[in-house]
Amino acid sequence: MSKVDTGQPVDCVVSGWSDWSECSQTCGRGRRERVRTVVTPARNGGQPCPVDLVEKARCRLRPCAIVCRIGHWSEWSACSANCGTGVQMRQRSAKSSDRRSECPPHQTEKRICVVNNC
């Protein structure tokens, strides 16, 4: 059975807000939203529907795990001694996956080197 339009003003009616959506991220900061829908549109000069049918908010979950990417070792340095026993060094760095977090400082390796006897 359809309703007959009597020409009387009909105000807009909207539903209540839905539940909040899941956060857009599984860790760290994200966004979520909830919506409401038009149940009855305004007619004949009735109160118009609200513009805001979607509400957005930030959400923050547990911190994301930090992944430190370890770089390749550099070449060994020249021997620290011109003759006899000396030391050679090499190093590598680590960068965090989020570029803001701390990773262990440069890693350094040392080894003994022997140059012709003095």
What domains does the chain contain, in order, with CATH numbers? 13-60 (2.20.100.10), 68-115 (2.20.100.10)
Q: Tell me the pLDDT tens digit for each residue of 86-115.
A: 999 999 988 887 777 778 878 999 999 998
List, in order, residues 6 or more apart from 10 with CB less than 8 Å away. Answer: 40, 41, 42, 43, 44, 46
Output the pLDDT for position 1: 47
Q: Tell me the pLDDT tens digit for each residue of 45-63.
A: 999 999 999 999 999 888 8
User: How many percent of the chain have pLDDT more than 70?
Assistant: 97
Of the pLDDT bands very low, low, confident and very high (cuts 50, 70, 90), residue 2 is low
Res 32 pLDDT > 60: yes
